């Protein structure tokens, strides 16, 4: 027998157990092993029924995506499922844990299904830009009904075992000894005629087309820019409209089309890149990590409060320190309102809210946080204040405590130098709102120990963040690139564009909002404060757009003041173009002697996105980012870059680095400042290579 599929006979029941950790993926060896086990069970006259289950906590997470795009060894998953469905003896899928994607398709190809109470079932293929390709869109509607199938397949989220039972996906839940229960269930089916899912059609009869049209409307906003959700709907509708064999054939054809799409290539890149980000080449996997059982946050403002919520949500007690009781009370009240809003939307129970709030306690002073395993400073973005805080932390915090700064631009090494333990200092750049945004830039200083880096990477996962390790420079990775993106957007206003024109191009590209709408949402005063601090060291000959500063001088800080780049109606968030701002921009152009011109959508797109790519290439070459894919993950999770485009560096590869380099060179010839091609971009373009080639090398 195969060494990845165990065969054991229990009287009349043959038990096949997939043993391919960590997720029992259905690679070639597993498929062959299941096929061999089926043949052995069918050939054995003593065997009356066959049970298929998984080892560990997974039934199967589905296909091995490393096989995508390569010639598939026989049996492929479709062939294997057809073999199972056609077996003369009943085959029962025993879902010991998660059955996802091809794993659920395999289970639905069996004649019966049982599940452990903690198991779950799902078809997440849409998240990779594809549809289920081994019968999922045809069998799931027949078991669970069209509405449930639409929700599960198009949204891609799994359902727990109890829900799967109600829907008819599984036939029975097994409490207690799962394997023994599955074998007992199988014994009851011995001698019974196999029940083929493909033959069940009660739930796909008399379903009107309006069901599908209404569902398309319901997902329109969330699915903007994506094609896979609509291809899923198309294939599920085929289960209703077409004879069963035609439905299966069309599903396979649609799957192949999706697999070859740019969307799927990008989403599969994202899937792999996100998992790769936690791999730090010079830090072995067995590096000791410090346990984080308690935390403290200094600063109870919007950012500090959001950071504290992350710890509480993960069950880690956290103390909140502020300079005054009034500021602390104000911060705690904001926390309560944030939690209450989540409860009102049904995303959190009142009991969970109360438990989280109980984990957040006020600190009486620095001595009160001396025992914390990690302390995160979240005060104003001013070096002097931060150094003062770290000097105090150095005196009171216990040995071994991690001292973290939530700076978005400042030099972590300079902050660390304010302590006698720079090896314990690290940057943890949360993104606002910190309790919502997934990204955490983990800023590794020149003296930060490997143990502290590894511990912080582990902590990021514990608090459900996507942690990406970066080096020290002004703005690190995300904000350093953002500066160039915003700079070009501002320059184009002076040259002839208007905020709504730039925002439309970026929105149409796939961002939720363009740079000016984002500025109004975040608050323009934050960037203004930083720019005023930078003015002292800004070279006099460097081009600088003052439009944003003048808007702030007018008291327009964005949505919170009812006006920024746009104006806003009371209680509403929809941006309204403002003639007053248009007049300000036109006046600024005239004062600077810049003749306004029509700026094409293509130029707007190139100057915003290629500015990201060019700076990203510098960051990569300098070693500030470990990989081009890490840059992609930062921009996908922290700045809203559209996932179906894969991130700025992946997108540049799809455009072709030669094309990007030519455009950057053209803008360098026309404008000079800020457009000098990054040496790495120039070299890769010259060699006809990509950022992916650079990573492979």
Identify whether 22 is preceded by a cis peptide bond (ω within 30 of 0): yes
Contacts of 480 (CB under 8 A, 6+ apart): 473, 474, 615, 619, 624
Determine the pLDDT at residue 533: 80
Determine the pLDDT at residue 380: 87
Distance CA 318, CA 178 (A): 39
Determine the pLDDT at residue 597: 97
Distance CA 581, CA 59 (A): 59
Annotation marks residue 322 as catalytic: no
- CB–CB of 259/68 below 8 Å? yes
Residue range 273-298, pLDDT digits in tens: 999 999 999 999 999 999 999 999 99
Tokens 């054991």 sit on residue: 8
Determine the pLDDT at residue 70: 79
Determine the pLDDT at residue 1: 54
Stretches where the chain sits below pLDDT 70 are: 1-2
Domains assigned to the chain: 5-191+200-259 (3.90.226.10), 295-470 (3.40.50.720), 497-591 (1.10.1040.50)
Token digits of residue 197: 């899912």
Tokens 């309204």 sit on residue: 576
CA angle 519, 522, 528 (to 5 degrees): 65
Q: E strands, 518-595, where?
A: none
Distance CA 670, CA 592 (A): 17
CA angle 684, 687, 689 (to 5 degrees): 55
Token digits of residue 304: 């500090």
Helix, strand, coil tally for the chain in percent (to 5): 55, 10, 35
**Neighbour order of strands in the sheet with 172-173:** 5-10, 13-18, 49-54, 91-95, 112-115, 172-173
The catalytic position among 105, 237, 441, 615 is 105
- CB–CB of 298/321 below 8 Å? yes
Strands 13-18 and 5-10: what pairing?
antiparallel
Determine the pLDDT at residue 258: 97
- In SS3 terms, 579-638 reads as HHHHHHHHHHHHHCCCCCCCCCHHHHHHHHHHHHHHHHHHHHHHCCECCHHHHHHHHHHH
Token digits of residue 467: 């942690």
CA–chain centroid gap for 291, Å, is 25
Residue range 144-181, pLDDT digits in tens: 999 999 999 999 999 999 999 999 999 999 999 999 99
- CB–CB of 90/112 below 8 Å? yes
- CB–CB of 678/621 below 8 Å? yes
Strand partners for 52: 16, 93
CA–chain centroid gap for 503, Å, is 23
**Residue 403: what are its φ and ψ, rounded to 5°?**
-105, 115
The catalytic position among 6, 79, 85, 125 is 125
Reported as half-sphere exposure (CB side, CA atoms, 13 A), residue 389 has a value of 27
Widest distance between CA atoms in the chain: 93
Annotation marks residue 388 as catalytic: no
Distance CA 102, CA 5 (A): 17
Of 393, 375, 211, 224, the residue nearest 294 (C-alpha) = 375
């Amino acid at each position: 027998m195969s060494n990845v599929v165990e065969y054991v006979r229990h009287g009349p029941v043959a038990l096949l157990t997939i043993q391919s950790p960590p997720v029992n993926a259905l690679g070639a060896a597993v498929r062959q092993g299941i096929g061999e086990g089926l043949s052995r069970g069918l050939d054995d006259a003593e065997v009356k029924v066959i049970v298929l289950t998984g080892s560990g906590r997974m039934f199967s997470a589905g296909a091995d995506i490393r096989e995508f795009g390569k010639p598939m060894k026989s049996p492929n998953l479709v062939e294997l499922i057809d073999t199972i469905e056609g077996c003369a003896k009943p085959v029962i899928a025993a879902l010991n844990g998660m059955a996802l994607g091809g794993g659920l398709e395999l289970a639905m190809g069996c004649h019966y299904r049982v599940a452990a109470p903690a198991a779950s079932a799902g078809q997440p293929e849409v998240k990779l830009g594809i549809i289920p390709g081994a019968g999922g869109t045809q069998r799931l509607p027949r078991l669970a009904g069209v509405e449930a199938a639409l929700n599960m397949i198009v949204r891609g989220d799994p359902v727990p075992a109890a829900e799967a039972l109600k829907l008819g996906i599984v036939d029975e839940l097994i409490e207690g000894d799962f394997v023994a229960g599955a074998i007992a269930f199988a014994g009851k089916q011995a001698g019974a005629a196999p029940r083929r899912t493909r033959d069940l059609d009660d739930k796909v009869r008399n379903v009107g087309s309006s069901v599908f049209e209404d569902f398309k409307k319901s997902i329109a906003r969330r699915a903007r820019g994506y094609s896979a959700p609509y291809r899923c709907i198309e294939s599920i509708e085929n289960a209703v409209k077409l004879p069963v064999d035609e439905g299966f054939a069309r599903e396979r054809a649609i799957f192949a089309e999706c697999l070859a799409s740019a969307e799927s290539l990008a989403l599969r890149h994202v899937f792999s890149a996100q998992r790769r980000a936690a791999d730090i080449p010079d830090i072995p996997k067995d590096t000791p990590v410090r346990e984080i059982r308690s935390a403290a946050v200094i600063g109870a403002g919007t950012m500090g409060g959001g950071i504290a919520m992350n710890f509480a949500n993960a069950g880690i007690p956290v103390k909140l320190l502020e300079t005054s009781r009034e500021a602390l009370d104000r911060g705690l009240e904001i926390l309560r309102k944030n939690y209450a809003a989540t409860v009102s939307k049904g995303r959190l129970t009142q009991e969970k809210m109360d438990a989280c709030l109980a984990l957040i306690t006020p600190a009486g002073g620095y001595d009160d946080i001396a025992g914390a395993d990690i302390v995160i400073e979240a005060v104003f973005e001013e070096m002097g204040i931060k150094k003062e805080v770290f000097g105090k932390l150095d005196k009171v915090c216990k040995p071994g405590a991690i001292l973290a700064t939530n700076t978005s631009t400042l030099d972590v090494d300079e902050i660390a130098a304010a302590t006698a333990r720079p090896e314990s200092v690290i940057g943890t750049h949360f993104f606002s709102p910190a309790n919502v945004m997934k990204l955490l830039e983990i800023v590794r200083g020149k003296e930060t120990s490997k143990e502290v880096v590894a511990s912080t990477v582990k902590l990021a996962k514990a608090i459900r963040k996507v942690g990406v390790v970066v080096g020290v420079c002004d703005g690190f990775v995300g904000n350093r690139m953002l500066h160039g993106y915003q700079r070009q957007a501002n320059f184009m206003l002076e040259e002839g564009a208007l905020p709504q024109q730039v925002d439309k191009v970026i929105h149409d590209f796939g961002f939720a909002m363009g740079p000016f709408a984002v500025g109004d949402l975040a608050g323009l005063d934050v960037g203004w404060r930083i720019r005023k601090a930078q003015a002292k060291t800004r070279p006099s000959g460097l081009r600088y757009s003052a439009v944003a500063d003048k808007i702030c001088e007018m008291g327009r800080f964005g949505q919170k003041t009812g006006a920024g780049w746009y104006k806003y109606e009371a209680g509403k968030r929809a941006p309204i173009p403002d003639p007053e701002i248009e007049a300000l921009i036109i006046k600024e152009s005239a004062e600077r002697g810049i003749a306004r011109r029509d700026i094409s959508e293509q130029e707007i797109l190139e100057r915003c996105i290629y500015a990201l790519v060019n700076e990203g290439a510098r960051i990569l070459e300098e070693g500030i980012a470990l990989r081009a894919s890490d840059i992609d993950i930062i921009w996908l999770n922290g700045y809203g870059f559209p996932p179906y485009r894969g991130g700025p560096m992946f997108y540049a590869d799809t455009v072709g680095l030669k094309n990007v380099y030519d455009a950057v060179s053209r803008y360098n010839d026309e404008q000079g400042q800020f457009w000098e091609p990054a040496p790495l971009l120039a070299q890769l373009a010259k060699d006809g290579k990509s950022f992916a080639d650079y990573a492979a090398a």
